[in-house]
Chain A
Amino acid sequence: MTRLFSLLVCASVLVFAAASDTRAQDSDVYIKVGKGTLKKSLMALPAFQFLGSAAQGKDFKTVGAELYNTVSNDLDVSSYFQFISKDAFLEDPAAVGLKPAPGEPNGFNFENWKKIGTEFLVRGGFTILRDEVTFEGYVYYVPQAKLVFAKKYQAPVSGARKLAHTFCNDVLLNLTKKKGMFLSRVAVSSDRPTGKWKEIFVMDWDGANAKQITQHKGISIAPSWSPDGSTVLYTSAAFHKKAMTRNWDLFSYELKTGKRFLISHRTGLNMGASYFPDGKNIVVTVSQGGNPDIVKMTADGEGLTKITAGPAGAMNVEPVVSPDGKRIAFSSDRSGQPMIYVMNVDGSNIKRVTFAGRYNSTPTWSPDSQRIAFAGQDKDHYDIFLMDADGMNLERLTSAKKANGRWASNEDPTFSPDGRHVMFVSDRAGPMQVYIVNVDGTNERRITVDRFNYSRPKWSAADF
């Protein structure tokens, strides 16, 4: 018995000691460092070389400037890069080729760019033959002295901007594996060029190539893109001759054909339409003489199905279908003050997602359907806010003052197709102009620079 007892004790001590040792072997300290501090990469973007002879390319300076300025602006807006001042260059980019030495006679020297901390070197050259511009672009990662990508582009001289946007999209695609948003467009309501009427305009995301697409000579507002970017829905206070009254009717405009269609002219509001991802159905706010409610109909205005109904006296407006087609965000005053709500596409499972603030409106989905931006009233002005689709992680994106020291209003947010920027309108400089801001609240930029007012910009998911 005694022997057995001693044996048991020894065995347990041995097992425990062995166990402790093995545990120690497994107890490597493991630390999750986290996402880290983000930084912009230093980029050298020397002027593009004209590779032809001056006699060949008329206006080559203008074309070159357009190419360079567009590329420079796009890459700057991307917020991935910080440009190195030309004064810091150790070699004259004009005196060397677009490719590195050795291997290329008179090529550039990587060492000269490494010394000044360059991470990315972009070299570009172009020629003009008749009305065609040919551009070749090279992007090098200097620390590893390697070519990231090189590509040749050809376009009519009038399409130089588009060519530059395409190059920048390719730069981002090669680095981040995600397509850039530089070929996207924006539909917006504006009182340009007379300041008298509000019409719908379509322009490049950077404000260039603005084109008026409506001629109602009235108030046309709330444009919305079809998923393929071919059609713009909008609402206009159209004059009905028989009734001698104006009604908020819903129209669609085909960009390719320039044709306009009347989609819904039910009495009252036919406003704030949003496409389902299939492009065949839409949601609209209609009032039909009562309180505004959200309905679903086909893209040509048929087969109306009610999605919200009340509660009595409450309005349900500004519906936006999430890009994944599963939910609808909208604003409603059913709880007293207008707040943002999210529901399933059939109207079930309505959830209030904003509780802070007094007046929250114009919700818009991020392309991944994970986040919602909206305009929220704070005291006497609006600002743009961003939150998760369930209302968590609420943050303010904008905050600016006017020249007179009063708070500026920032309204009508819309996400860029890559989800990295939010466009909105602001009266910080006087008239309601278009601005963009990064989703982290940095890098606010003015897009339109004129004396007119803009409202409800909508960023297209499709390229032009």
Chain B
Amino acid sequence: MNAAGRLQRFRDQEPVFYRMLLASVGLHIAVLLAFTIRTYVFPTEALNFETAIKVDIVDLPDKHPQLPPVAEEKKPADDKKPAPLETKPETKPKETKKQPESNKVDLNAKKKEKAEALEKIKAMQALDNIADEVKREEEERERQRLASQKIKGNVLSKGTALKGIVSTQMAGYVNLLERHAKDNWTIPKWLEDLNLKARAHVFLNEDGTVARRTIVQSSGNDTYDDLVLSSIDKASPFPPPPKHFIDLVKTKGIQLGFPE
């Protein structure tokens, strides 16, 4: 007996049950179709992965202890020593002492050596200075990090994280990417007040390195767009994607909003 025959027999033997089963399947399909249609006709907003927090303020807050308390005092303008001033080099008549021919060659060679040595010292000094500047920049970054630390008056309680779908593996990876991108996003203070916004599309390799990146929504400011791209380059490699998301980050990529 084929399946149709068996079904016919079942319908004859249990007509009520058969009707109920049919109705049940029909209703399930209707519900499924209804939800599918709803998703496209009335799309919901994207899920928010941010953690819920609550804040307790109990007293006047402290100033952040790590911030420099007082910058170096500036003397009043009247007391300021005049800065070194450049003037046009005066043209003095050149002294022309006659030297023996043999010494002339040596002197030139020595002068050249001296000049080269001076250049080297200057270059080394410059490198040292650059190292100092980098160090200062790192200190500034550290200061900024410390500035965001929790102190009395801005202490956050643990709060309650949203559960369920947001605690999926994808959400975890997105959080990792977000933190990594944030850590590498540095902008000059003078650009901050311009309130610029740019979006970049980033495609990652399996190991998290950046395969390609483009600006998909320019801020209208070349400097800002350049900084966005260089921050992505600096952030490479990103955290390697979990196995299930390799295709996603490789082919569809991720979009980063600077700042949103």
B210 to chain A minimum Cβ distance, whole angstroms, is 14
Name the interface residues of B24-51: CB closer than 8 Å to any CB of A: 25-26, 29, 32-33, 36, 39-40, 46
Q: Collect the chain A residues with CB atoms within 8 Å of residue B122's CB.
A: 90
A-B contact pairs, 9 of them (CB 8 A): A19-B40, A38-B144, A39-B186, A39-B188, A65-B80, A88-B125, A117-B130, A441-B147, A442-B143
Residues of B213-255 at the interface with A, using a CB-CB cut-off of 8 Å, are 222-223, 226, 231, 248-249, 252-255
Given contacts A144-B222, A445-B73, contact A47 B63 (CB under 8 A): no
A2→B67 CA distance, assembly (Å): 77
A396 touching B32, Cβ below 8 Å = no
Stretch at the interface among B82-90, B94-102, B109-117, B158-166: B82-90
A175–B190 CB distance below 8 A: yes
B248 surroundings in chain A (CB, below 8 A): 29
Given contacts A9-B29, A32-B259, A69-B83, 17 further A-B contacts (CB under 8 A): A5-B22, A33-B182, A34-B259, A36-B187, A36-B258, A47-B84, A47-B85, A51-B88, A62-B82, A95-B89, A176-B190, A207-B76, A385-B61, A395-B153, A397-B63, A441-B67, A443-B68
Residues from chain B with a CB closer than 8 A to the CB of A430 are none
Q: Which of A60, A143, A161, A399 contacts B77 (CB 8 A)?
A: A161
Return the CB mask of A421-460 against B: 1 if under 8 Å, else 0.
Answer: 0000000100000000000111111101100000000000
Decide if B59 is an interface residue (CB 8 Å cutoff).
Answer: yes
How many Å lie between the Cα of A177 and that of B224 in the bound state?
A: 14
Establish whether residues A116 and B77, one from each chain, have CB atoms under 8 Å apart when the complex forms: no
Query: Does A169 interact with chain B (Cβ within 8 Å)?
Result: no
Contact B129 A85 (CB under 8 A): yes
Give Cα distance in the complex from A47 to B254, angstroms. Answer: 48
Q: Interface stretch among A76-84, A188-196, A337-345?
A: A76-84
A35 interface hit (Cβ, 8 Å): yes
A28 within 8 A of B: yes
Closest to A68 in B: B83
B166 to chain A, nearest CB (A): 14
Tell which of B25, B60, B81, B177 touches A31, judged by Cβ atoms closer than 8 Å.
Answer: B177
Are B126 and A385 closer than 8 Å at their CB atoms?
A: no
Q: How large is the interface on B (under 10, 10 to 19, 20 to 34, 35 or more residues)?
A: 35 or more
The CA of A22 and the CA of B43, in the complex, are separated in Å by: 13
Cross-interface CB contact of B259 among A35, A82, A394, cutoff 8 Å: A35
Contact A117 B86 (CB under 8 A): no
Are B258 and A84 within 8 A (Cβ)? no
Task: For the complex, count residues of A whose C-beta is within 8 A of B.
Answer: 98
Contacts of B188 in A (CB 8 A): 38-41, 80, 119
Q: Would you list which residues of chain B between 107 and 165 have a CB under 8 Å from chain A?
A: 122-123, 125-126, 129-130, 132-133, 136-137, 140-141, 143-145, 147, 153-154
B residues 154-199 near A (Cβ < 8 Å) are 154, 170, 174, 177-178, 181-182, 185-190, 192-194
B residues in contact with A12, CB < 8 Å: 29, 32-33
Question: Would you give the shortest CB distance from B1 to chain A, in whole angstroms?
Answer: 15
Expressed in whole angstroms, the minimum distance between the Cβ of B48 and any Cβ of chain A is 10
Contacts A12-B29, A19-B40, A84-B129: A33 and B190 contacting too (C-beta < 8 A)? Answer: no
Any chain A CB within 8 A of the CB of B62?
yes
Residues 1-43 of chain A, each 1 if its beta carbon lies under 8 Å from chain B, else 0: 1100100110010011001001101001111111111111110
Contact of A88 among B129, B182, B254, B257 (CB under 8 A): B129
Q: Which of B25, B36, B76 is in CB contact (< 8 Å) with A15?
A: B36
Would you give the shortest CB distance from A432 to chain B, in whole angstroms?
16
Q: Are A395 and B74 in contact (CB under 8 A)?
A: no
- The minimal Cβ–Cβ distance linking B71 to chain A, given in whole angstroms, is 5
Whole-angstrom distance between the Cβ of B161 and the nearest chain A Cβ: 18
**In the bound complex, how far is the Cα of B182 from the Cα of A432, in angstroms?**
42
**1/0 contact trace for A385-403 toward B, CB 8 Å?**
1000000001111111100
Given A30-B255, A31-B255, A383-B63, A47-B86 contact (CB < 8 Å): yes
B residues within 8 A CB of A255?
none
| Contact assessment for B181 and A444 in the assembled complex, using a CB-CB cutoff below 8 Å | no
- Take A9-B29, A36-B186, A356-B57 as given contacts and tell me if A116 and B126 are in contact as well, using a CB distance cutoff of 8 Å: yes
Tell me the complex Cα distance, A249–B178, Å.
Answer: 60
- Contact at B154–A395, with CB atoms within 8 Å? yes
Tell me, in angstroms, the Cα distance from A430 to B145 when the chains sit together: 33
Please indicate the chain B residues that have their CB under 8 angstroms from the CB of A73 in the complex: 74, 77
Indicate if A101 sits at the interface (CB-CB under 8 A): no
CA A26 to CA B82, docked complex, whole Å: 64
Q: Which residues of chain A are near B76, meaning CB under 8 Å?
A: 207-208, 448-449
Residue of A with least CB distance to B28: A12
Top 3 nearest A-B pairs by Cβ distance? A65-B82, A88-B129, A94-B86
The listed residue (B85, B141, B194) touching A176 by CB distance below 8 A is: B194
Determine whether the beta carbon of B185 is less than 8 Å from that of A208. Answer: no
Question: Which residue of chain A has the shortest Cβ distance to B73 in the bound complex?
Answer: A446
Which residues from A are CB-within-8-Å of B52? none
Decide if A41 touches B186 in the complex (CB within 8 Å).
no
Of the residues B7, B79, B88, B141, contact of A50 by C-beta under 8 Å: B88
> Which residues of chain B have C-beta atoms less than 8 A from A69's C-beta?
77, 80, 82-83
Do B74 and A357 have beta carbons less than 8 Å apart?
A: no
| Residue numbers in B under 8 Å from A229 (CB-CB) | none
B255 touches A28 (CB 8 A): yes
Inter-chain contact B252/A88, CB cutoff 8 Å:
no
CB contacts (< 8 Å) of A172 on chain B: these are 190
Task: Give complex CA distance A60, B83 in Å.
Answer: 12
- A115 interface contact, C-beta 8 A: yes
Cα A6 to Cα B58 in complex, Å, equals 66
B7 nearest in chain A by CB position: A2
Choose one: A33, A357, A396; the contact of B258 (CB below 8 Å).
A33
Residue A131 at the chain B interface, CB threshold 8 Å = no
A394 near B257: Cβ-Cβ < 8 Å: no
User: In the complex, what residues of B have CB within 8 A of residue A400's CB?
Assistant: 69-70
Distance between B153 CB and nearest chain A CB, rounded to angstroms: 7
B92 within 8 A of A: no
Which listed residue (B26, B57, B174) contacts A29, Cβ 8 A? B174
Q: Is the CB of B67 within 8 A of A385?
A: no
- Residues in B neighbouring A394, C-beta threshold 8 A: 57, 60-61, 153
Out of A28, A37, A62, which one reaches B185, CB within 8 Å?
Answer: A37
A38 to B22, CA, bound (A): 65
- The residue in chain A whose Cβ has the minimal distance to the Cβ of B228 is A33
Q: Is the CB of A116 within 8 A of B129?
A: yes
